[in-house]
């Protein structure tokens, strides 16, 4: 029975970063993965969608500049070729990750992991082996979630993985769930000519975002002729003839060639044997962690599986912390700081830090300042005359920064830095913003007149 | 004879910002402009080129994705329509600037300004008027510079303004001068199918940039089949039949349909009567300033005309400082901090802070760290697999950050902040970089192994 200083279960962005850091700190490390390296992010999530969006950005450009009557033309995408390119990119990344693990002396164990007790894990792959560990990092991530009656048939009613494998653009697509995944997928196919129906049970699309940002996004998508329904649940979905029929709770029916179900995520905890190690879960199985991301004295849970923040970079940040904490290099509780997040595509959303509503709910006296991202010359140059940047202030200190419009994802790290470093309005004047850049819209928002919320 | 607390000569980015700030501080302010509001930047420089590059970004996308065989198609730009859109945007900005000046109580005086003494200026427009001032800000900018025998005929041998007014793409273009203006113009027309010949007298293109960055850019442009000649002066240029013939000093001849001369700038000082106010100049007429941007006790010179940094945002930053200094709100010498700058287009360059060569020449012990911008998933998604980010360190403190590749201009404000705030390698770990973003390439460069220069 082999022993490792640290065993990591799950080779997504969080587990991979944790394993590498631990081995670079001189520890013996094993990384257990039953599937491909890179997790959801690389294989079915962030990376494939960004490859698809990047490879079709010129379609959106053609639409935008054609609307302005500056050009004419046609572009035909070769979807099988795009799929192949995605597969090649993902496969090359697998190889690069594998050789990096090898170079750093991380043992990669292929198989399913099950905890036998608080110091022992069984890995069942080609063979079955048992290992002991001093510390364990659980980084098994999450999967698409289905509700009864709202499940993909993988033929016309699809999940996000199915939807990236279509050979041609469906004539129409009903997207159920208007979070980041639903919005990005809808945008991609819309560029290829698909009519979009977007259904969200919450009162607004992008429900995790600032209300005004979400409303601005809604208006911008309506101008792209999306059919958007909010505040209504799906009562049923099924095939009818050659179409998918989506029935809403109020009786509305939407017919479309395909449908995407993107209503949430569930934790990958079944079969892990958590109960054998004294690890408890909540809700659908999310692992309960303390202030130091511990599920047990020597067991950490990081990334999606602890339910804190379902984002690749959050997992990576937590993975790094868990290793440093396990090695005694930090004793402080885990702090995220202002978490950055984006919705990518033709119209993008970014946010770092708190929304005005969150701060107001916490009893803070909130002030806001705004700039029109659509007035920015770089946005105008790309044919987008709408957009919004919104800064949120408490006692003269920047506490949140969010934007919607052309290229907003390019602003997210700036926003993270400005919020984390607690910029004042004067800080924005001290820096020189290159002209012309989209970044100037952040400066404009930070220095605009303050208003009540 | 009217008196103003502050008179500003020149309504480019620097003069405009200075005039607005002074009036917002409660001073009586006049702004003298003989031409259009906005200066070179708005009317013939940064903004028109960025509108042209933004409006054709999808052509570059089509080329890039077609090279990867992911799509096929054609796009035809309507150049007269693009010119009209540019004119409309510029004109709308003139109106917005004019009404902002009016709202802030700035007197806009149309005409030529001539100093009569250190407290008096004559403005010759429709009428001739004389004004006195307590403080003066000279912000008259710069113009394209020609050398004898290397001058535009505005028919086939063009300046950058002519080149934005062509109705169709020339079959070929010889660009003389491989600085930002030459490179951006060449890129624009190359997107529309023009074969590019690029001639630079300095040993390398982008001579103001880090040598390795410039070399990487050179290699990337060669892959786009640009004919690049460096280290050779132009001996003569003239019309020959239907072509332009450019003869280099070594006898090489380049024939092309058009040529662009973009070899530098000269200060707009003739006729200002500087000698009457005790203001001295150097070289081609650049105004000499002290550590507080003063050309005389109550006269400031800001922006291009003082020859310090020929960039719109530098002028704006200097304009703000000059007003605060004139009002006694600051007494400290003027400091730029790490100046950000970009070359825009299909392959972009950004820089903030010092280059390794500059620091080494100043006797510093320099270390560098690098990342491959082309390996970044966002760059890959846009079909660009090459690029470089380079960080320059002295004593563990970031002193310069520069990059070349897809979308590098989006990184320039991040670079400015990181260098100005003196990031260490550890600072890069403390922040969370959203995944996937181009920004991660900066983090990768900052945390990569240190190397000797």
Chain segment A150-179, per-residue pLDDT in tens: 999 999 999 999 999 999 999 999 999 999
Is some CB atom of chain B closer than 8 A to the CB atom of A439? yes
Place of tokens 């890995």: A123
Low-confidence ranges of chain A (pLDDT < 50): none
User: What pLDDT, on a 0 to 100 scale, did the predictor assign at position A185?
Assistant: 97
Predicted model pTM: 0.96
Contact state of A436 with B47 under an 8 Å Cβ cutoff: yes
Nearest to A435 among B46, B433, B436 (CB): B46
Is some CB atom of chain A closer than 8 A to the CB atom of B433? yes
User: What pLDDT, on a 0 to 100 scale, did the predictor assign at position B433?
Assistant: 97
Which helix (H) or strand (E) covers residue B99, if one does? Answer: helix B79-103
User: What pLDDT, on a 0 to 100 scale, did the predictor assign at position A88?
Assistant: 97
Sequence-ordered alpha helix ranges (H) in B201-240 = 211-223
Is some CB atom of chain B closer than 8 A to the CB atom of A66? no
Q: How close B451 gets to chain A, by Cα (Å)? A: 19
What does DSSP assign to residue B337? -
Task: Please give the interface size between A and B, counted as residue pairs whose CB atoms are below 8 Å apart.
Answer: 223
Name the closest residue on chain B to residue A80, using Cα atoms: B70
- Those residues with Cβ within 8 angstroms of residue B201's Cβ, 6 or more apart along the chain or in another chain: B231, B232, B233, B234, B263
| Beta carbons within 10 angstroms of residue A450's beta carbon | 12
Half-sphere exposure of B323 (CA within 13 A, CB side): 26
Contact state of B316 with A435 under an 8 Å Cβ cutoff: yes
Name the closest residue on chain B to residue A415, using Cα atoms: B414
Per CB-CB distance under 8 Å, the chain B contacts of A169 are: none
Contact state of A416 with B434 under an 8 Å Cβ cutoff: yes
Q: What is the largest CA-CA distance in chain B?
A: 70
Contact state of A82 with B70 under an 8 Å Cβ cutoff: yes
User: What pLDDT, on a 0 to 100 scale, did the predictor assign at position A109?
Assistant: 98
Contact state of B311 with A435 under an 8 Å Cβ cutoff: yes
What does DSSP assign to residue B147? B
User: What pLDDT, on a 0 to 100 scale, did the predictor assign at position A264?
Assistant: 87
| Beta carbons within 10 angstroms of residue B291's beta carbon | 9
CA distances for B128 relative to A100, B113, B123, B124, B131, angstroms: 74, 10, 6, 4, 10
Please say whether the beta carbons of A36 and A79 come within 8 A: no
User: What pLDDT, on a 0 to 100 scale, did the predictor assign at position A142?
Assistant: 97
Residue of A54, A90, A401 to mutate for B, most B C-beta atoms under 10 A: A54
Rg (CA), chain B: 23
Q: Is B129 helix (H, G, I), strand (E, B) or coil?
A: strand
Is some CB atom of chain A closer than 8 A to the CB atom of B65? yes
Q: Which domains does chain A have, with CATH numbers?
A: 2-144+266-326 (3.50.50.60), 157-263 (3.50.50.60), 340-452 (3.30.390.30)
**The pairing of beta strand B128-138 with beta strand B2-9:** parallel
Phi, psi dihedrals of residue A160, rounded to the nearest 5°? -70, -30
By CB atoms closer than 10 A (0-12, 13-18, 19+), residue B76 is: exposed
- CA neighbor of A419 nearest in space, from A381, A391, A395: A391
Q: Rounded to an integer, what distance in angstroms lies between the CA atom of residue B282 and that of residue B288?
A: 6
Q: What is the ipTM of this complex?
A: 0.97
Block mean pLDDT (10 aa), chain B, length 453: 95 98 98 97 96 98 98 98 97 98 98 98 96 98 92 96 95 98 98 98 97 98 98 96 96 98 95 97 97 98 97 97 97 96 98 97 98 97 98 98 98 98 96 97 98 91
Contact state of B55 with A68 under an 8 Å Cβ cutoff: yes
What does DSSP assign to residue B51? H
Contact state of A69 with B81 under an 8 Å Cβ cutoff: yes
Q: Quote the tokens at residue B173.
A: 């273009």
User: What pLDDT, on a 0 to 100 scale, did the predictor assign at position A452?
Assistant: 93
């Amino acid at each position: 029975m082999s022993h490792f200083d640290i065993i990591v279960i799950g080779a997504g962005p969080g587990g991979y970063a944790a394993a590498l850091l631990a081995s670079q700190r001189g520890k013996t490390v094993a990384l257990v993965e039953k599937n491909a390296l890179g997790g959801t992010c690389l294989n079915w999530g962030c990376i494939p969608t960004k490859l698809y969006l990047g490879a079709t950005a010129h379609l959106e450009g053609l639409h935008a500049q054609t609307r302005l009557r500056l050009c004419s033309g046609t572009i035909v995408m070769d979807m099988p070729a795009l799929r192949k390119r995605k597969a090649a990119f993902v496969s090359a990344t697998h190889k690069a990750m594998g050789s990096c693990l090898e170079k750093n002396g991380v043992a990669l164990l292929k198989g399913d992991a099950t905890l036998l007790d608080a110091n022992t894990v069984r890995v069942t792959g080609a063979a079955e082996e048992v290992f002991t560990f001093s510390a364990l990092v659980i980084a098994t991530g999450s999967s698409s979630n289905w509700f009864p009656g709202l499940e993909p048939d993988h033929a016309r009613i699809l999940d996000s993985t199915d939807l990236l494998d279509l050979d041609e653009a469906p004539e129409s697509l009903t997207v159920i769930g208007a979070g980041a995944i639903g919005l990005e997928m809808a945008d991609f196919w819309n560029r290829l000519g698909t009519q979009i129906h977007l259904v969200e049970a919450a009162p607004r699309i992008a429900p995790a975002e600032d209300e005004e940002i979400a409303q601005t996004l809604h208006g911008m998508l309506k101008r792209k002729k999306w059919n958007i329904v909010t505040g209504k649940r799906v009562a049923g979905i099924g095939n009818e003839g050659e179409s998918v029929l989506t029935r809403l709770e109020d009786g509305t029916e939407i017919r479309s060639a395909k449908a995407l179900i993107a209503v949430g995520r569930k934790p990958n905890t079944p079969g892990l044997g958590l109960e054998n190690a004294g690890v408890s879960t909540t809700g659908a199985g999310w692992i309960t962690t303390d202030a130091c991301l511990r599920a047990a004295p020597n067991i950490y849970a990081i990334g999606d599986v602890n339910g804190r923040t379902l984002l690749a970079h959050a997992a990576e940040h937590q993975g790094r912390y868990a290793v440093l904490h396990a090695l005694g290099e930090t004793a402080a509780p885990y702090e995220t700081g202002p978490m950055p997040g984006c919705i990518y595509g033709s119209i993008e959303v970014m946010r770092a830090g708190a929304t005005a509503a969150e701060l107001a709910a916490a009893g803070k006296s909130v002030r806001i300042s705004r700039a029109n991202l659509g007035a920015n010359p770089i946005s105008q140059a790309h044919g987008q005359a709408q957009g919004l940047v919104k800064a949120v202030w408490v006692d003269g200190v920047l506490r949140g920064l969010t934007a919607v419009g052309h290229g907003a994802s390019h602003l997210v790290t700036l926003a993270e830095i400005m919020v984390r470093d607690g910029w004042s309005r004067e800080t924005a004047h001290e820096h020189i913003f290159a002209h012309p850049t989209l970044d100037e819209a952040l400066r404009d928002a930070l220095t605009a007149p303050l208003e009540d919320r």
